[in-house]
Structure 1
Amino acid sequence: MRCCRRLALAAALIALGACSTPVAAPAPHAASSIVRAEHQMVVAAHPLAAEIGRDILRQGGSAVDAAIAMQMVLTLVEPQSSGIGGGGFLLHYSAGTQALESYDGRETAPESANRWMFLGDDGLPRSFADVVPGGLSVGVPGTLRMLELAHRAHGRLPWHTLFEPAIALAEDGFAVSTRLAEDIADDAVLAAQPSTRGYFFNADGTPLRAGTRLRNPALARTLRAVATGGADAFYRGSIAADIAAAVDAAAPNRGGMTTDDIAGYQAQTRPVPCLDYRDARVCAMGPPSSGGVAILQILGMLRHFDLGAMPPDGIDAVHLIAEASRLAFADRERYLADPDFVPVQVDRLLEEAYLSSRAADIDPAKSMGEALPGRPAEASLLGALPARQAAEPLSTSHMSVVDRDGNAVSFTTSIEGAFGAHLMVDGFLLNNQLTDFAFAPAAQGRAAANRAEPGKRPRSSMSPTLVFDRKSGTLRAVLGSPGGANIIGYVTQSIVNLVDWRRDPLAAIAAPHFLNRNGPTVLEEARGLDALQTALMARGHKVKVQELNSGANVIVLDGTGLLGASDPRREGIALGD
């Protein structure tokens, strides 16, 4: 009976969103709002995913259960951003024990990977765009192994139950959203690849339009297999064979992944780094993600300046945040990589004395220009090339969940670039996460910490984050964002907005963006920051103005209930009870 009710709900959602061809499509928010709930809440990047997540919570499911169900739906309705062909990082908070855990589902390089894999015949690094499509950029997916590991620890509903809504949607169809339609139309590579052309384009070669009803029976079969057979059904057997064959036969950029690479994948739990910031304690994802450490370093340096007394988004605050970001990104490039391959001294990088010394390098009146990495005690001497200052693709997704018992999940999930490697297998897209490795294996006489190696996880910027009250230890916020390396800036700014300037959750994530990755200071275009450009240049900044398309999703616990908001730059939604 419960199964029937779930399928009925999925059918109702389909009827609302895809009852004809074409049908009304979800559109990005013209104006978002804060959603208040008393007991439980989900915030996700697509309305259908959020609806399913809330329904899982209503059935008595845990925060992890809701996250699993939403990821399966996002694989279908937001394929350009995440899915079971990719990976992610998940933070979990257990309200009863106040235990904090992080789950690492980052992709791994196949045994065929080597430090020279992204060099051309001339010995120089190939361009990012040249390497992305095909099999060379594909890492062994980690999402399902990670979610299964988290479900074993914190799931309440049966594993198979969490796949049923996505299976129903895949079989019966969903309405292509405005954002998905735009991303399809903007991607020339997608139309050139046989495995994606037939799915995302009409028979006459035109891209699918918003509102088109799109079915994916191949994904339904894959999800049904995993629902009944667990993650082993993905990592062993016909699905794994299909992945390996697609990567090996890909054109361009044939890869070298084998079924043994896939079968050998293991998700892991990792230590959770935390840092006190004002009256809050911020906890984030550690290596192989660089995001958490970089955010905590920035905040640790900003503790030495009274941002709360400064005008929000004013020149003084923007300058200080940009300068602290330079220093954190310099350390990120030198020291952070997969801790199973490179000794990463997280404690040293977050040590109060070290961050105080780094903060002392910040001149409130003048930019330092390109920052150099610091020398924390006992840190590795490995290094890397400066970060790519490239435009960030509209990829990756984030969801925030709090269940009725106060347990929380912050989950950032990705296939790297928009539509990943542009290879579709059994109804899902494969990632291009190996392009997060350093393309040059060495720099300035040092081996790159983030160089490609067999079995290694490429450094990430994904930054699922939890914020607690420093004194009581109670949970205050669950947040994260997509955006490539810009995630670090987006999440840092959201925390400063919440903690220093006491902005409400929507204002915190919708505020105009400014960030620095140890290069130019980037201002979000058309968001009222034009006046800062001249003032920043007067302080020695090089300034760029461009689109900064974040997609943060946040839940704030204010003592009386839950406040949720989704970034108005995308099509996400908060729902709760």
Structure 2
Amino acid sequence: MKFHLFAIGVLSTSILGCSSAEKQAAPIAEQPKHQAMVVTANPHATAAGLEVLRAGGSAVDAAIAIESVLSLVEPQSSGLAGGAFMVHYDNESKSLAVYDGRETAPSGATPDMFMLENGDSMPFIQAKTSGLSTGVPGIVAMLSMAHQDQGTLEWNGLFDYAHKLATDGFEISPRLHGMLERFGKYIPSTPEQGPTDAHEYFFDEAGQPHPTGYVLKNPEYAKTLEIIANNPKDFYQGDIAKQIAAMVQQQPRAGSLTAEDIAAYKPVKRAALCQDYRDTQICGAPPPSSWLAVGMIMGILENGPRPSAAGPDDPKNWAIMAQAQQLAYADRDQFVADPNFVDMPINGMLNKEYLAKRATLISDKATPETYAVGDPWAYNDVPSEETAGIDATRDVHGTTHFVVVDTKGDVVSMTATVESIFGTTRMVGGMFLNNQLTDFSFQHHDKNGNAIVNAVAPNKRPRSSMSPSIVLDKDGAFLLATGSPGGNNIIAYTVKTMVGVFEWGLGPQAAVDLPNMVARGKTVRLEKGLTPDSLISAMQEMGFDVDASRGENSGLSVIMRKPDGSLEGAADKRREGVIGSL
């Protein structure tokens, strides 16, 4: 089967066995009803996904191959010792399912584990580069569960591409090298600072990071892949689990994770949450994912002031989106956590009357009302008398996102992470251990004594900003898949794509290319360098507290189905995204 790899701004077409004359004389083939497409943050990952699809694999099969490669070539963002959320669309039944592979806190976790003796929160870097921050990895178990439901190829063959890369080596990409230059100072280089495996992996004898293009091999990761390919349960019940627990329990700041904690992990299959939006349904992962905020924003926009025809050229349209973000972030921060540990007003937060009421707070100028917490409990089917504490969870960036549509029209939208850059910086089996537990609030009560819903607890899943999304049309058919990395900013990045396509009438790539804007709390952050000065000035004139930020580094991956049934992809130019199609 012929295939195309679309790099950003570059089209490379492989047509085998045809002369130029034959190609010119050949009639234009009619587009199939269902193309297959992959969009990831790395060329190797996209190639791995396409290889699986060419062999007749499903979207889930491709996702397994993709993530096993990303764990190797993009270790600063995600890995098999981390976690993920996958939203899956079954084209035949027009049904959605969510696979929750979020990490869990160990049984020995305590509410004050990230607090100092004086009651202050531990500095983030100390918490991150420690054993305290590693949760039980969930992604391997999640992928295994999804494969049992939706896989078509044999599990043990889905790791071949990654295994070859790990054995033969891969060239360090510009982005990976840049991350090492910027953040390598946080990777321990002496035993006093912590385990030095990552430093020995990435740096030369002079202490300099290997340059772009350096061929990096990872035989330990190849061995790990062999174990997982043979039986994914061995990841949780064998030597790897024991090694992870031993590494976590090393000083400094040793954690309590045990091999028994790892063996007890269970992924969860959940029903998708969906929010009506004009003549579509926008769907995503329920808590502990923060997709609720994505659904809220789009519901608020549906009930708020209509955007002008000028789309992104009208500052008032940006102001509307900013205020919708503020309203949703306020509620998300207050109420969303692990559903096994706290009650949440989920139905209230997506209630049409509640969203319409929140939308009335949007005006043509900034107002404190839009970043104040609402009362979704009043619109929930089950009320609550408890007052949730003011959130104290940190804002950090990391993660990866990819989307796949297979030849049957099934779809995967998946976001995966090791949390912050290079996770804890500790390695086992060629993988970086996650620092996912720093996604908990470092404080367990606010200054008024109210319990914070996202506080640490044993066996609890930390709240996640990961918000993989799938949009369906009025007939329940797949329309668009999107998502992004970016910590708490994920919500805003994901929404920007939908607003660009559905509110402002842009194509998916043009929507991805829009400047990023994150409006969480009082401050509205606009992407420095891409945001026109005129927009910044206009937002300031409307009373917004604007911060032109260099840190708005999204990694959006999007696939959209066009009216003729063909697919259009978009990859974020801010990273190394590549679109591939069959």
Matching of residue 267 in structure 1 with residue 267 in structure 2: yes
Deviations 1:56-99 (A, max 9, x none): 00000000000000000111111110010100100000000011
Deviates more, 1:323-332 or 1:238-247: 323-332
Aligned equivalents of 2:58, 2:245: Cα separation in 1: 34
Does the 8 A contact of 2:100 with 2:268 survive in 1? Answer: yes
In the alignment, residue 464 of structure 1 is paired with which amino acid?
A: P
> Is the contact between residue 466 and residue 479 of structure 1 (CA under 8 Å) also seen in structure 2?
yes
Q: Name which of 455, 465, 470 aligns with 1:466.
A: 470
Map of 1:221 onto structure 2: 223
Aligned position for 1:89: 85
| 1:337 counterpart = 2:349 | no
C-alpha separation between the residues in 1 aligned to 2:302 and 2:212?
46
Rate the CA distance shift 1:255–1:387 in 2: closer, same or farther, 3 A: closer
- RMSD over aligned CA atoms reads 1.9
User: How far 1:31 sits from its partner (Å)?
Assistant: 4.0
Q: Where does residue 580 of structure 2 map in the other structure?
A: 575
Question: 1: CA distance between counterparts of 2:352 and 2:66?
Answer: 38
Which residue pairs with 2:283 in the alignment? Answer: 283
Name the SS for the 1:476 alignment partner: strand
Structure 1 residue 260, shift from structure 2 partner: 0.7
Pairing 1:362-441 to 2, within 5 Å after superposition: 362-368=362-368, 371-376=371-376, 377=378, 378=382, 380=384, 381-386=386-391, 390=395, 392-393=396-397, 395-441=398-444
Contact kept in structure 2, 1:367 and 1:539, CA below 8 Å: no
Partner of 2:211: 209
1:466–1:475 Cα contact (<8 Å) kept = yes
Q: Kindly provide the amino acid, as one letter, of the partner of residue 302 in structure 1.
A: L
The aligned amino acid for 1:359 is: A
CA contact (8 A) 1:523 1:529 kept: no
Identical-residue share of aligned pairs (%): 40
Q: 1:499 to 1:370 in 2, by over 3 A?
A: closer
AA matched with 1:86: G
Aligned mates of 2:331, 2:92 — CA distance in 1: 36
In structure 2, the partner of 1:3 is: none
Match of 1:452 in 2: 456
Superposed CA deviations along residues 243-273 of structure 1, whole A, max 9, x for unmatched, are 000000142x211100111000000012211
Q: Is the 8 A contact 1:384 1:438 kept in 2?
A: no
Aligned to 1:493: 496
Q: Deviations over 1:268-320 (max 9, x none)?
A: 01221111212321111110011x10011111111122125353253111111
Structure 1 counterpart of 2:47: 51
Counterpart check, 1:69 vs 2:65: yes
Match of 2:114 among 102, 111, 118: 118
Maintained 8 Å contact 2:272/2:286: yes
Flag the 1:387–1:576 CA change in 2: closer, same or farther, 3 A. farther
| Structure 1: gaps (5+ residues) | 1-25
Separation in structure 2 between the aligned mates of residue 348 and residue 30 of structure 1, nearest angstrom: 41
Deviation readout 1:373-405 (Å, 9 max, x if unpaired): 111224553524346675x43x21111000000
Contact 2:85 2:414 in 1 (8 A): yes
In the alignment, which residue of structure 1 is the partner of 2:192?
A: none
Cα distance in 2 for residues equivalent to 1:568 and 1:154: 31
Partner of residue 532 from structure 2, selected from 529, 534, 541: 529
- 1:335 and 1:523, CA in 2 relative to 1: closer, same or farther beyond 3 A? same
Q: In structure 2, how many angstroms separate the alpha carbons of the residues matched to 1:62 and 1:111?
A: 36
TM-score normalised by length of structure 2: 0.90
Aligned partners of 2:96 and 2:271 also within 8 Å: no
The residue type equivalent to 1:247 in the other structure is V
Among candidates 559, 562, 568, match of residue 558 of structure 1: 562
Query: What is the alpha-carbon distance in structure 1 between the residues aligned to residue 166 and residue 414 of structure 2?
Result: 23
Paired residues of 1:325 and 1:516 also in contact (CA < 8 A): yes
- Residues 326, 62 of structure 1: CA spacing in aligned structure 2 closer, same or farther, 3 A cutoff? same
1:515 paired to 2:515: no
Worse overlay, 353-362 or 57-66: 353-362
1:536-547 aligned at under 5 Å gives the runs 536-547=539-550
Q: Does the CA-based 8 Å contact 2:361-2:369 persist in structure 1? A: no
Q: Which moved more, 1:199-208 or 1:424-433?
A: 199-208
**Cα 1:30–1:150 shift into 2, 3 Å:** closer
> What does 1:89-108 correspond to in 2, within 5 Å?
89-108=85-104
Match of 2:20 in 1: none
Q: Measure, in 2, the Cα distance between the counterparts of 1:434 and 1:60.
A: 38
Q: Bigger shift: 42-51 or 278-287? A: 278-287
Give, in whole Å, the separation in 2 of the partners of 1:32 and 1:274.
Answer: 36
- Aligned AA for 1:420? G
**Residue type at the aligned position of 2:186:** V
1:96 is paired with a residue of what secondary structure? coil
Q: Choose 279-288 or 412-421, whichever is displaced more.
A: 279-288
Contact preservation (8 Å) 1:348, 1:379: no
State the distance in 1 between where 2:454 and 2:414 align: 23
Which secondary structure does the structure 1 equivalent of 2:312 belong to? Answer: coil
